Amino acid sequence: MEDNMRIRGRSRREGQVITHFHHYRVEIFCEVIDLIAQEMQNHFPEASTELLLLVSCLDPRDSFSKFNIHKLLRLVELYPEDFTITERMMLEDQLTTFIYDVRHYEDFMNVGDLGSLARKMVETGKHAIFPLIYSLIELALVLPVATASVERVFSAMNVVKTDLRNKMGDEWMNDSLVVYIEREVFATIDNEVILQRFQKMQTRRMQLPPLSGIPRISSTEAGIGSSSSVHR
């Protein structure tokens, strides 16, 4: 690794050389680390990174070694609609009492994740003693689900609202997104039921024809999500 090698891209006349160790460490290893760091930065912006760090303070492993009252108070500040000003003032005292209590409570010694912590609090009745902390844990548990749901919606928007449908209204787009995202649920609903409900919504000049005997058409066959679909 200490053998010399010529710098790539340089002419032999310049005679600049580096060691193999420098080549693999600086020009390859550090370059890959920079690319990975940049990719992580693109996936996790500063706000998301801060949120993850704050939530990690609730990690019960190693006797709540990451527990930090000031960071948890900062986490509450990010959700003003879930915690009132009075509750935020009360939370600091609850956090101080809570961490002392659980670190001296044998039932919490082997808790390894937030889900187990929430269940253990319910089993021991501490969710009623520390309601604000329990609400904070519930919030931390639903954050990954909420984030994944938002990502699903944005992915669905690329399917529902295409270039040929760029003039669709917000209400129609919302309804279309619900049907597309929850398509497994809507697939279990019989078309005849939908037809009859639509018929009874208001008096119409003519009766809609029954669908009995007509084969059901899947969303793919009907062209839902394709650019050739009929515009509303």
Over residues 6-26, mean pLDDT: 63
Nearest to 57 by CA among 66, 48, 65: 66
* Distance (Å, whole) CA 11 – CA 48: 47
State the pLDDT at residue 129. 92
Rounded Cα gap, residues 114 and 59, in angstroms: 6
Going by pLDDT thresholds of 50, 70 and 90, the confidence category of residue 36 is confident
Predicted confidence at residue 226, as pLDDT, reads: 41
Region at 6 (left for phi over 0; alpha for psi -120 to 50; beta for the rest): beta
Sequence-distant (6+) residues with CB within 8 A of 148 are none
C-beta atoms surrounding 121 within 10 Å: 22
Handedness of CA 128, 132, 137, 139 (dihedral sign): positive
* Contacts made by residues 90-95, CB under 8 angstroms, sequence distance 24+: 90/132, 91/132, 91/133, 91/136, 94/130, 94/132, 94/133, 95/69, 95/133
Asked if 117 and 127 count as a contact pair (C-beta separation under 8 A), the reply is no
Q: SS3 helix, strand, coil % of the chain, rounded to 5? A: 65, 5, 35
pLDDT tens-digit series, residues 179-213: 887 788 888 888 888 777 777 777 666 666 665 55
Q: What is the pLDDT of residue 112?
A: 84
Mean pLDDT for the stretch of residues 144-163: 66
Counting Cβ atoms within 10 Å, is residue 58 exposed (0-12), middle (13-18) or buried (19+)?
Answer: buried
Report the mean per-residue pLDDT for the chain: 76
pLDDT of the residue at 49: 74
Segment (H or E) for 5? strand 4-6
Select the more confidently predicted residue: 150 or 102.
Answer: 102
User: What's residue 134's pLDDT?
Assistant: 92
pLDDT of residue 170: 77
